[in-house]
Amino acid sequence: MKAFHIYGGVPLQGKVRIQGSKNAALPVLAATLLTGEDCTIRNCPQITDVEHMICLLKNLGCRVRHVSDGYRIDSACAKPHDMSGEAITGMRSSLCMLGAMLARFHEVRMEHPGGCVIGERPIDLHLKALAKMGVTFSQEERVLVGRTNGLHGAQIALAFPSVGATENILLAAVLADGETCIQNAAREPEIEALCCFLTSCGAQIEGVGTDRLRIQGCKTLHGAVFTVPADRIVAGTYLFACTGCGGEVFLEQAPWEQMQAVIALAEQMGAVCQVCRDVRCAGCGFSETCAGLYVQGPDRPRAVGRVQTSVYPGFPTDMQSMALAVLAGADGESVVQETIFENRFRVIEPLRKMGADVRLRSSSEAVVRGVPRLSGAQVEAGELRGGAALVLAGLMARGETVVTGCDYIGRGYENIGKDLKNLGARIVSGYFTKT
Ligand code: EPZ
C-alpha cells in the first residue's frame, strides 16, 4: 500500500507554492453545469476529489479538456444521468451536484453520499431548503431522487451555517424563479469563491461574505473564466508543519487574510508570521508582487491552554487534527475542543502510538500534554486531515515514521511529499507491505 516514509527532526527551510483550494474548486466545477456553455476553471488542484468531480461531469455528457492549470468544461450537451458509485458515495463534495442538477435538469437521482469516519454527515438541511424551493424528494433503496416542476425562490433560515447546504441553495437559487434569501448562511471563503464564479456567469447575488445572502434568479447563465483561490487549509498545514519542526518557510500565495484564526494559533504556539505583499526576487533583484506568508518556527512549540473549532472566521475544524499533532510536541498542556463534527478525534490513537500523551476528556474534548519528542512508528491515515496530521507528527518525531493510507491524503493535497521535501524534510513516498 502507498506510504510515506519520514525521518523527523529536521527544521524546514525554503519556499512552497500553495495549490488551489479543494473546497472552492469542487462546487465551482459543479456550477459549470448551470451555464450550458464553455467555462474555464484555472488553478484547479490536481487531487483525486477533483478527478472524481470531472468524471461526474463527463458522465453527464460534459466535454472536458485539460488546460494548462485546470479544465475547460462545455456543458452544452449535458443530460441527466443517475449518479452512483465510488465518485458519489466516497466523496461528500459530490453532494453539491444536487443543487446543480436540480437547477439544470429539474431532476436528480443520486446514491446517498453517506457518512464518513469524521461523522454521520446528514443532509437534512440541504433537503429541507430545496424542498422549500419546490423540490420533491423520495428514496429508492439507497438512491435519493429529487424532482421539481420548476425551482422558485424562498426565504430560508438555516438551523446551522452548513457549508454544503449553503452551496446547494446557491446553485438552485441562481436559476430559480424569483428571489431567495438565505439567513445564517455559511461564511467560509469557499462560499465567497462560489458566489464570485456565479456572479461572473451573470448571477445576481447580494451579501457575499456575510451570513445573509439574497439571490435574484435568472433565466440563464453564461460561461466564464475563473481562477480558483489558494487553499487556506493546505497553507495552514505547512504553517503548522513549520511551527512543529522549526525553521523558516515562505508560503507563496497563502491566502493569509482567510487564515487569521490559524495564524493566531500558530503565533500562540511560538511561530513568528509575517504577511508578504512582494518578494525581492533573489536573482535579478527586482521586486515582484507575490502574496504570501513568511513563517519562522520556534525551537519547540508552546502549549496554548485551549483551542476550540468553530465556523468561519473561527478556528477551522479541518485544522483540528493538525493542531493536536503540533501540541503533542509542545511544552505544556492544551485542551482541544471540536464543535463541528461528532467524531473527529480518530487521530488520537495513532498519535499515542507515536508517544503522544493525549486522551479524550469527553466526546468533544481532547487533553494533550506535550512530550519533548514524539517517536517514529508505523501509523495509518483514516481520513484526509487526520492523515496530514500524522505526516506532521512524523516530521516532528525522532526516527522513522511510516504513514500508510496515503490515498486519503491525496484527496486534498496535490503532492504533500514533494512540497515537504522541497522544504528540506526527509520524506519519501513509496510502498509498504504489512509485515
Ligand atoms: C465542508 O463540509 C467541507 N467539505 C469540510 O471539509 C469542512 O470540514 C466542513 O465544510 C466544515 O467547514 C467540502 O467543502 C467539500 P457542513 P460539509 O455541512 O459541507 C452538520 C475537508 O477535510 N450538518 O458545514 O459537509 C454536519 O453533520 C472536509 O476538506 C447537518 O447536521 O460541512 C456537521 O456536523 C472535511 N445537516 C456540520 O453540520 C446537514 O444537512 C458541518 O457540516 C448538513 C450538515
Helix (H) or strand (E) segment spanning residue 136: strand 136-140
Is the CB of 103 within 6 Å of ligand 1? no
Which residues are within 8 A (CB) of 373 and not within 5 positions of it... i.e. 6 or more apart?
9, 329, 355, 396, 397, 398
Grid look-up 499533532 returns: 325
The pLDDT of residue 286 is above 70: no
The residue-averaged pLDDT of 286-296 equals 77
Calculate how far, in angstroms, residue 283's C-alpha sits from the geometric centre of ligand 1. 44
Calculate how far, in angstroms, residue 122's C-alpha sits from the geometric centre of ligand 1. 9
Quote the DSSP letter at residue 43. Answer: S
pLDDT at 84: 63
pLDDT at 334: 98
Average pLDDT, the chain: 93
Contact call for residues 268 and 330 (beta carbons, < 8 A): no
Please give the share of the chain, as a percent, with pLDDT higher than 70. Answer: 92
C-alpha cell at 239: 504553517
Q: What is the Cα–Cα distance from 23 to 256, expressed in whole angstroms?
A: 17
Q: HSE, CB side, 13 Å, CA atoms: give it for residue 6.
A: 36
pLDDT at 328: 98
Contact call for residues 305 and 334 (beta carbons, < 8 A): yes
Is the CB of 195 within 6 Å of ligand 1? no
The residue-averaged pLDDT of 67-82 equals 91
Task: Measure Cα distances from 345 to 51, 107, 158, 349, 359 in Å.
Answer: 28, 37, 26, 8, 9
User: What pairing do the DSSP bridges indicate for beta strands 70-74 and 136-140?
Assistant: unpaired
Q: What is the Cα–Cα distance from 388 to 380, expressed in whole angstroms?
A: 11
Contact call for residues 103 and 172 (beta carbons, < 8 A): yes
Q: Which residues are catalytic?
A: 116
C-alpha cell at 114: 453517506
pLDDT tens-digit profile of 202-238? 999 999 999 999 999 999 999 999 999 999 999 999 9
Contact call for residues 316 and 339 (beta carbons, < 8 A): no
In terms of residues, how long is the chain? 435
Is the CB of 45 within 6 Å of ligand 1? no
Please give the share of the chain, as a percent, with pLDDT higher than 90. Answer: 85
pLDDT tens-digit profile of 13-54? 999 999 999 999 999 999 999 999 999 999 999 999 999 999
The amino acid at residue 120 is E
SS3 label, residue 113: coil
Give the least confident one: 74-88, 131-145, 347-361, 399-413: 74-88
- The partner residues of 70 in beta bridges, in order of sequence, read 67
pLDDT at 85: 62
pLDDT at 289: 58
C-alpha cell at 12: 524546514
Band (90; pLDDT cuts 50, 70, 90): low
> Does pTM top 0.85 for this prediction?
yes
C-alpha cell at 216: 435574484
Quote the DSSP letter at residue 124. Answer: H
Identify the structural domains of the chain with CATH numbers, from first to last: 2-19+230-431 (3.65.10.10), 22-227 (3.65.10.10)
C-alpha cell at 159: 438551523
Q: Residue of the nearest CA to atom 10 in ligand 1?
A: 163
Is the CB of 115 within 6 Å of ligand 1? no
Q: Render 250-302 in DSSP notation, one character per residue.
A: EEET--GGG-HHHHHHHHHTT-EEEEEEEEE-TTT--EEEEEEEEEEE-SSPB
Give the least confident one: 97-106, 139-148, 407-416: 139-148
Q: Residue of the nearest CA to atom 37 in ligand 1?
A: 340
Is the CB of 160 within 6 Å of ligand 1? yes
Calculate how far, in angstroms, residue 313's C-alpha sits from the geometric centre of ligand 1. 15
pLDDT at 94: 80
The amino acid at residue 176 is A
Contact call for residues 410 and 7 (beta carbons, < 8 A): no
Q: What is the Cα–Cα distance from 316 to 232, expressed in whole angstroms?
A: 10
Q: What is the Cα–Cα distance from 120 to 342, expressed in whole angstroms?
A: 8
C-alpha cell at 124: 437534512
Helix (H) or strand (E) segment spanning residue 53: helix 48-59
Calculate how far, in angstroms, residue 164's C-alpha sits from the geometric centre of ligand 1. 6
Q: What is the Cα–Cα distance from 12 to 245, expressed in whole angstroms?
A: 7
pLDDT tens-digit profile of 324-376? 999 999 999 999 999 999 989 999 999 999 999 999 999 999 999 999 999 99
Q: What is the Cα–Cα distance from 278 to 412, expressed in whole angstroms?
A: 28
Is the CB of 50 within 6 Å of ligand 1? no
Helix (H) or strand (E) segment spanning residue 109: strand 107-111
Q: Residue of the nearest CA to atom 28 in ligand 1?
A: 318
The pLDDT of residue 146 is above 70: yes
The pLDDT of residue 165 is above 90: yes
